[in-house]
Amino acid sequence: MSKLTPRSQESDATPSVEMPEPREASSSPQLAAMEDGVITPRRPDVRESNRPAQTSASGGAGQSPASGAGANKSKLGLIGAAAVAVIGAGLYFGFHSSPKTSLESAEPNWKYVEKANEENDFKFKASKEANVTAERVDASGAVTSVAALGFAAADLDAQTTGAVKQALASNDPAGVQAALQSALKNIPPIPVTAKDPQGNPLVQPVPTLSPGMSAAVLSGDAQFVHVFLYDCCAEDGDIADVIVDGVPYCTVPLTHAGVTVAIPITQTAGTISIRGAFDGDGGGVTVGARTSQGDFFMRALNVGETEVLGSTMQQ
């Protein structure tokens, strides 16, 4: 099977990561199938009795009415307790654990997502937002856990930076909005079938800069950079929100083909957050981000969970 490297606007130093193929093209290399364990039930003991079978008042053989009722109550009690335990465990683990399905785990990049799951699942036990680590795969194939997306000069979007800075200096909100819309113009439309947990259709937010980010762009402390976003596992309709410096910036339907967007980052305290907006098949929102510094794989998100990462600019 062939490998597909999605189109990007970064430098030629493209990390050697196995990218999933679009559905129209040939599929990506498959991971080895997982082996299922087999549980063999224990056979019950067989006890012989030379006594004739007793018939209960209810017509059952071999037990008195009292003993049969007691046994049934005992069995029902055990079954009820087991059901409560299973439901409780499901609610507990389902709240904070990233979802895992065979559809996602069959993809080549799942091994990176799974590692991010293992490193970050515990952070979501009591919260739906947490600072996380991502798995970075660089051009050599080396894998490291990082707390920030890395950028370099090859990722800079000087055109968007200049347009936004000029509009801010002219106190021109419409000009700022036009520049931001241009930076996000390649994002595919959100499917009409995609809805939030309340059943409301998802809509593309108006891109907004926080007051602090606007001031940083105006002063030259912040610049726009390109980042390529894609579905790193099964292309199943996942959608993610991108939040910059705490403010909703854009919503991205994730595909294998991917899309390049321009986002502002600062040299110091800026954050880039990814929130699960729509889970295509229930296997988790699987987000891959590519810059000139490598591919970054994040934990599989439940809808409503937000992963917060920093940003770094290589000098």
Identify the pLDDT of residue 31: 33
* Euclidean distance between CA atoms 312 and 219, whole angstroms: 18
Q: Which DSSP helix (H) or strand (E) runs through 66?
A: helix 65-96
Tell whether pTM > 0.75.
no
* Euclidean distance between CA atoms 62 and 185, whole angstroms: 77
Identify the pLDDT of residue 314: 84
The answer to whether residues 110 and 231 touch, using CB atoms and an 8 Å cutoff, is no
What are 63's two structure tokens?
């037990």
Identify the three-state secondary structure at position 152: coil
Q: Which residues partner with 290 through β-bridges?
A: 228, 295
* Euclidean distance between CA atoms 153 and 253, whole angstroms: 27
* Euclidean distance between CA atoms 268 and 279, whole angstroms: 32
- Short-list 312, 13, 309, CA closest to 151: 312
Identify the pLDDT of residue 127: 95
* Beta-strand pair 143-146/134-137: antiparallel
pLDDT tens-digit series, residues 166-218: 999 999 999 999 999 999 999 999 999 999 999 999 999 999 999 999 999 99
* Euclidean distance between CA atoms 214 and 66, whole angstroms: 79
Confidence of residue 81 (pLDDT cuts 50, 70, 90): low
CA atoms within 13 A on the CB side of 12: 0
The answer to whether residues 19 and 3 touch, using CB atoms and an 8 Å cutoff, is yes
Q: Which DSSP helix (H) or strand (E) runs through 161?
A: helix 158-169
Strands (E), 17-119: none
Mean pLDDT of the chain: 78
Q: Which residues partner with 61 through β-bridges?
A: 55
